[in-house]
Copies of this chain bind each other. A is one copy, B any other.
Amino acid sequence: MQYHLSCTRCNRRFHIDAPLWKCSSCGGTLEVVSEDIAKGDFDSFIDKGMRGLWRYRKLIPLPNDPVTLGEGGTPTVMRKEPKTELCLKLEYISPTGAFKDRGASVSVTRAKGAGAKYVVEDSTGNAGIAAAAYSAKAGIKARIYVPSDAPRVKKMLISAFGAEVVECSSRDEAAARSKSELKMGEVYIGHMWDPFYIEGMKTIAYEVYENSYRVDSVVVPVASGTILLGIYGGFRFLESLGLVDNFPSIYAVQGEGCAPLYEALHGRIASSRSSRLADGRRIKDPPRKDEILKAIRETGGDVFMVSDEEIAPAMKELYRMGIMAEPTSATVYAAFRKNENELKGRVLMPITGTGMKNTDSLAAVFGKIGLSHR
């Protein structure tokens, strides 16, 4: 297949190898577009000898060897509910404990192919950890900009992987400085912008299809929206092959206090409170907001908003199923419980990050350990 980069705003085309993270003409976000989609058998795109994400390397427009730590190929736990069937895809069973590994693997592979000696990312935690780990694997230095109130363990892990941690006063400042301080020869792989990051996320849809799960709706947590856009794009590709009969409706979930998508769709600020639990959620103006809203509207989806009072019991319920979700991941289950009547059929719900990295929130939700001193 042939590919190019395309601006999602002005539609300008760029060569697939262009060293860009945004449109050099209008500043819009870029996406990877395939030019010659042949209808036919999805099997022919699968590299059966590979496991995980790179099983689909024929669909990832990068010629060089993958930088991999074994990401992707995540298991699915099915669960019958009164009106629906949940398809919980455990994305936290991943090299650094979060779905971000899919994006980081592809973004760092691209940076390595381009000869990068330094990569730069901005993140509240999980994306930074993934970028640091994959850079380490690739032998490329990394500089990660984080807000200073990001969980301590997450900052510690980024540093342990050998990356430089730059603390900023806010998430916005981290985003701004990561770009303004870029030097010659450094490659910006920021997950909010890098179009290749989303190519990694598309493999979630490919896995769901290959594992024969047909889903009617998808409920995902959204901050920058890479997982939503990846799953959407993956299903669109499968549809172009003639393999999707009913395109799933896509539902985004945001935490109270920072829910720009919810407000864009429902036209009101629903609450003045701010979620303390959903720490991976604080992006006030995601660069791909219009793309995300388009995907939601096109598929008949919606945006759900949840509060800490709803996240905590949802997280407890997930643990009681043996599922170790971090609060940011538990938002989807909270949204499901709250909006069960709106959802139908089989519901794909990625559980995006592990609860192990965020012990403060674990203590906040579960309180004192129920120790027994008999």
Contacts and interface: CB of A to CB of B under 8 A. Distances in A.
Given A156-B363, A159-B366, A95 B322 contact: yes
A134 B166 CA distance: 39
A59 to B, nearest CB: 20
Looking at A96, A97, A370, the one whose CB has the most chain B CB atoms below 10 A away is: A370
A324 B73 contact: no
A133 B356 contact: no
A67 to B, nearest CB: 9
Number of copies: 2
A contact patch SS: mixed
A153 B359 contact: yes
A115 B128 CA distance: 45
Interface size range of chain A in the complex = 35 or more
A51 B69 contact: no
B70 A165 contact: no
B70 A157 contact: no
A372 interface: yes
Given A95-B90, A366-B160, A166 B372 contact: yes
B362 A160 contact: yes
Interface of A: 51-52, 68-70, 73-77, 90, 93-97, 133-137, 153, 155-157, 159-162, 164-167, 181, 211, 316, 319-324, 354-357, 359, 362-363, 365-366, 369-374
